[in-house]
Structure 1
């Protein structure tokens, strides 16, 4: 049965845009994306963890350097032996100092230092990769909160509109213009709208928790995201950049170099060692003695251990070279996936714009036809739901496009504080290294190192 139904509600699209504008309008102390990224960088426990790992790698260099420094130690001993002759005291003791200096070891210590330096450079690139992950998570959390906030606004507006429609249906039912079926349909849709609102509110609550985990605090009114940064004009151009700048590519390259140095270090173990040694001794009989000399030594046979160490170093070199190939494939795939996601998001956004335009015309036409009795309440509610879904799709597509842009930047190795020009002081990985790389004798109380550690604590 066709019923003559007159609706007095505002067009759904205008109301939805009004709700979204109200929800997303800048407020006092509102946070922008730049603020969120800065907060994520400063409050990231993951970055702190990896900075500590990098400092530990810096200490490996100091320990390798120390092998070329003089080694000074003291000794003291006491010996008691049963006397063979009566009246003889066989309790004796010695106190002394001994020193040694490595003069030659076939270059093993030098190769150890160079290998550790390459490991430090690899650890620095690993830290950059963690920085990218932290910033991408922050962008995703920011955009998801904005998306879910708009979803809640749409669902709230949907509930308000359907409540008005239900009230109007009940009024018309009282005067006999519509049947009880129309009222029941409106009641059913209102219950569904309230369920969708509850789901949207739950989604927003989860996004707020992720925001707090990623950025360090709950969102307090987020400003619209700025224009997305430029990426690349083609997928090939993006991959070319990624092969050069992505921190994982640079990290594995340093690891390959370190592995190649490891072969030279293993080979040096088979060469002789020359050391300068000295000793000063004082015994319990009051005799002083001193000596200085040069020691020459080297392996003759160690059960095949040294040959095994050399073969192991070669195998590790081959492993890291294979890892370089795999990393290149992974980086290329990451760029391809991000590029595809960005293209899909752009196409989806363009389609939703057309969808909204068509849904708006359809909703307006269905409403007019309903006033003439050519449409039912269900037809009007269906048209309204299609318009609502179209607007929700547009919001999702905008969010996906923004996140995909930053994901592509990350895949290219460009999602860093410096490239984004966030304008903050960043962690300097060379400060601690420069303070300890020469193996200072008093690293716990050295004034220079204390200043460096205090500065790092303020990052």
Structure 2
């Protein structure tokens, strides 16, 4: 009886002859949401973003300070020498002066607009941080599923290597009994060598994927829970591109942040224009010290004021008006610069809006395409399996050659890899669509967690469950397979 379900047999051969139940990983597994939590706590980029936010929000108290009272105090210790030619008089005095000054802005239009710009900048910083935190959700999922993708690719490559090894052994046996020529052996050997090289590369790719996950979370992961093939592959809800675009236009975090950037640029323009406006401050001062240090150095000469030598106190309170007239063209230049910065910010917002719309529409189409692709790729496994079996039959009866068999095997394992790629593309494109719409949250990762398999074994579970069960039954000698 001719061999059937070649893919399942190859997978079983790659399991080194042990029962699958005994092959389940014994290392503690990690799920998607736990990886995300580790990233949120340990990722250096998100820590830097949070520090940047804390720094940027300080522009508000700094700008507000320009509208609040300014109080300063100081002291001065000095030697004073007074000399008059006529009448001849020389005096040396030393003393200390203590002083305090208070200024309260009453009308400062430029500082008021500066405060408004600072508040808009602070809101922008908060949204930038939220966008970075949201992006970390996607990064965690991408790193996680890249590991699963690499593991599934390695498992299929190992199964492919086992199939080519078995084909090589059969070619040698047929050559030994004179049923084939040396060419078949050489072709089989070349196929096996290529499959072995691909397996070595796939092993490195698994290590690289785990390393990327470690870089993201600063933690080593010996194993991860894998995604079940029972994950529903459904169109996005609602399945309407305009609805997703409308949501993205209203909720995309980067787009919202750009709105505040425009607001900040507008307030900065108003601030620059206010450089032409007058300013009014209430000022008060107090001084106490030696009379010479305060300017009382005549000692009563020709003044009618009797000589004195004690400390003097001075205090004043008043209004200080300043009217800018000409500053060398500085204010006008700053206004022109602010106009251009505002135009730049508005154009950047428009560019971002267009990109958000483009990405949202593209990702909506991608998810719908992925839904059909996953179904088609899964069916292609069955079709390529049947094609391989038919090619093997043709080879047995002499109507097909070994090259046809090897090509059919390559097509079969390629269909397995493209099927798994389509599954992971569907998952990640769903998350990217939600990120573009501004609705991505940790709850989306928790929803995916319900379809993870705690006892995931890549060497078995890279196959859809029906083919995996067929392989297991065949290994147990079930004649129905």
Same fold (TM > 0.5)? yes
Change (3 A) 1:265 1:77: same
Q: Is the 8 A contact 2:33 2:446 kept in 1?
A: no
How far residue 414 of structure 1 moved from its aligned partner, in angstroms, is 2.2
How far residue 197 of structure 1 moved from its aligned partner, in angstroms, is 0.8
Matched, 1:239 2:241: no
Change (3 A) 1:23 1:97: farther
2:471 is aligned to: none
Match of 1:130 among 132, 139, 145: 132
How far residue 119 of structure 1 moved from its aligned partner, in angstroms, is 0.6
Matched, 1:36 2:35: yes
Q: Is the 8 A contact 1:36 1:138 kept in 2?
A: yes
Cα deviations across residues 21-48 of structure 1 (Å, max 9, x unaligned)? 8899675521222222222222222121
Match of 1:207 among 202, 206, 209: 209
Match of 2:407 among 363, 382, 404: 382
Cα deviations across residues 130-149 of structure 1 (Å, max 9, x unaligned)? 22332222222211111111
1:114 is aligned to: 116
Partners of 1:357 and 1:109 lie apart in 2 by 72
Partners of 2:22 and 2:131 lie apart in 1 by 35
Partners of 1:232 and 1:42 lie apart in 2 by 33
Q: How many residues align?
A: 416
How far residue 7 of structure 1 moved from its aligned partner, in angstroms, is 7.2
How far residue 420 of structure 1 moved from its aligned partner, in angstroms, is 5.6
Matched, 1:401 2:401: no
Q: Is the 8 A contact 1:231 1:409 kept in 2?
A: no
2:275 is aligned to: 269
Change (3 A) 1:308 1:177: closer
Structure 2 residue runs of 5 or longer lacking an equivalent are: 291-309, 448-481
Match of 2:6 among 11, 33, 37: 11
Partners of 1:360 and 1:262 lie apart in 2 by 67
Cα deviations across residues 162-204 of structure 1 (Å, max 9, x unaligned)? 2233223323333333332222222221111111111212222
3-state secondary structure, aligned to 2:219: coil
Structure 1 residue runs of 5 or longer lacking an equivalent are: 1-5, 423-459
**RMSD value over aligned CA atoms?**
2.9
Matched, 1:360 2:385: yes
Cα deviations across residues 359-412 of structure 1 (Å, max 9, x unaligned)? 111122222333334333333322222211111111111122222221212222
2:70 is aligned to: 71
1:45-444 residue pairs with structure 2 within 5 A? 45-84=44-83, 85=88, 88-105=91-108, 107-225=109-227, 227=231, 232-284=238-290, 285-417=310-442
Cα deviations across residues 256-294 of structure 1 (Å, max 9, x unaligned)? 222222233233333332222222212124222222222
3-state secondary structure, aligned to 1:287: strand
Change (3 A) 1:18 1:316: farther
Q: Is the 8 A contact 1:122 1:255 kept in 2?
A: yes
Change (3 A) 1:258 1:269: same
Partners of 2:44 and 2:244 lie apart in 1 by 30
How far residue 250 of structure 1 moved from its aligned partner, in angstroms, is 0.5
Q: Is the 8 A contact 2:288 2:313 kept in 1?
A: yes
Q: Is the 8 A contact 1:280 1:288 kept in 2?
A: yes
Cα deviations across residues 82-139 of structure 1 (Å, max 9, x unaligned)? 542555114444222222212222x333322221111111111111222233222222
Q: Is the 8 A contact 2:4 2:389 kept in 1?
A: no
Partners of 2:270 and 2:26 lie apart in 1 by 63
3-state secondary structure, aligned to 2:92: coil
